[in-house]
Every structure is written in C-alpha cells, then in structure tokens.
Amino acid sequence: MVEEMRIVRGRIPLTSQPLFKNKTGQVTIFIILALILVVSMLLLFLLVKKPDFGFGDETNPQSYIESCTREATEDAVEILLETGGDLEPKGSMIYRNEEITFLCYNANYYEPCINQRPMLIEHMEKEITTYIQPRISNCFQSLKSELESRYDIEMGDMGVITKLQKNKVVVDIKRDFKMTRGDKVQSFSEFKANLVHPLYDLSKVASEIVNQEAEYCNFDILGFMIIYPKYDIQKFRTGDSDTIYTIRDITTNQEFKFAIKSCALPAGF
C-alpha cells in the first residue's frame, strides 16, 4: 500500500500536461497571426501603391493606352449627353443652369424647325475626337517618360478616329511606337479602345424626334415608347415655346438632352 502511494505521488500531475500544450498552441497561434498580418500588409501595399509599368506592361503598352483613352472618352461622352451633342454649345438655351444645344430651330411663328444637326452621329464622333486627341497624346507622353529610362523610345505622328456603333464607342489610334533595348525591338502601330455605351442608339432616337418635329411640329412620344419600351422620353415646354427633350435608356440609365424651337406661337396663344 505504501509503495502504491509513492508511485502515485511520483506521477506528473495531470493538471501540468494541458498547461504545456496550451503554451505550445499559443505560440502556434501567434505565428499564424503574424503570418496573416504580414500577408495582409503586403496585399495592402500592392493594392494601394500607384500602378507602374512592370515587365508585363512594358511588353504590351496597348493596355495602358487603352485604359487612358477609355477614361478620356467617358468624359467626352458625358459632356455631349448633357449639352445636346456639342462640346461648346452654339445656338443653345439655358435650362436649369445648363446650356443645351438646339438640334432643330426656327424662331419664326407657326413655322416648323430646321434640323441643325442632320449628321448628328458624325458630328458627335468629331466632337469626341477633338476632346480626346490631346489627352491621348498626353497618355503617350506619360508612357514614354515611364519607359525611356529602360528603353530607347521612338514615336511617330498620331491619328485618332472615333466611331459610334451600337452599344459602344470605338476609338482607333494610329501611331508608330517603337521600344528598343539592346538588340531587342518591339514595334506597335495601332491602338484601340472600346467604351460600352448607348450613345449611338440615343442619337438615333434624337434624330427621329428632330425629323418629326421638323415635318409635323410634334413627336408622338407615347406611340414611340410603346414600340420601343427600352426608352423613356420626357418633353418639357418652357414659357418661350422652347422644348427640352430627355431620352433615357432604361437599361443603362444614360440620358441625352437637347432643345427644339418649332412652330412657335405668339404671346397669348
């Protein structure tokens, strides 16, 4: 009996075993947390720091020019939507502190308006090109400045063409761009950017409204929206017999506004 008691007393207390395991577990947890913290900091650094031209970008500068061009195109389109298709409205009216172009105009009483933009789509293509061309040139200059510490850069003259197509705006850029480092030469001559946008379709609807106003001094909004339910068209007539049309693409919520002055009536009518 005494011997059994000694053996029992000689055992390691059971309470000391989990204590040792808890310390080991705590160390493991601290190591895992430290690793998570380090990884999180690295990810944060990579996401927050300004993008630069890594080797992958250097071998394909189209991605940078495309992104830069798309941003400029978005800004140009936004202006045209608000002003009725002009960068700097000429022949316009002020509506809610905004200057909006007359797409159809006649100041004479009772007479239908005259279409001021019979080539509306082509006009807006030129307006977009006018706006984005200097910004695209700056994009190329920024690209050149970034790369010329590692490459010899040669650039030719630049040509920009904008096309409005169904559900998109396409910008084609022609420019020779050559990168040379040692005996390695990379040459590019064409860059392209596509902006998904309903500007083409909104312009087609605007042209239809103008044509009917020029012929009938009216446009059947309800009938048109029944046939083409993807559009919401609003018409607001001011006290000066001027009319503001707002065409909204319901899917994208993009709006195009323009003004019309047609079949004006004398005061009192």
Concatenated DSSP letters of 56-78:
HHHT-THHHHHHHHHHHHHHHHH
Mean pLDDT of all residues in 118-132: 98
User: pTM score, two decimals?
Assistant: 0.77
- C-alpha distances (whole Å) from 183 to each of 152, 155, 186 are 11, 18, 10
**Tens of pLDDT along 151-186?**
999 999 999 999 999 999 999 999 999 999 999 999
Cα separation, 57 vs 60, whole angstroms? 5
Pure H helices in 167-228: 199-216, 221-227
- C-alpha distances (whole Å) from 216 to each of 169, 200, 209 are 32, 24, 10
Per the CB < 8 A criterion, the answer to whether 195 and 67 are in contact is no
Q: Is the pLDDT of residue 8 over 80?
A: no
Percentage of residues in the chain with pLDDT exceeding 90?
70
Q: Is the pLDDT of residue 212 over 70?
A: yes
Percentage of residues in the chain with pLDDT exceeding 70?
77
Average per-residue pLDDT for the chain: 85
Q: Which residue has the tokens 């977009």?
A: 128
Q: Is the pLDDT of residue 23 over 60?
A: no
Q: Is the pLDDT of residue 191 over 70?
A: yes
Mean pLDDT of all residues in 131-135: 98
Amino acid at 120: L
Predicted pLDDT of residue 109: 86
Q: Is the pLDDT of residue 39 over 60?
A: yes
Cα separation, 237 vs 245, whole angstroms? 9
Count of CB atoms within 10 A of residue 160's CB?
19
The dihedral built from the CA positions of residue 28, 29, 32 and 33, taken in this order, carries a sign that is negative
Pairing of strands 168-181, 152-165: antiparallel
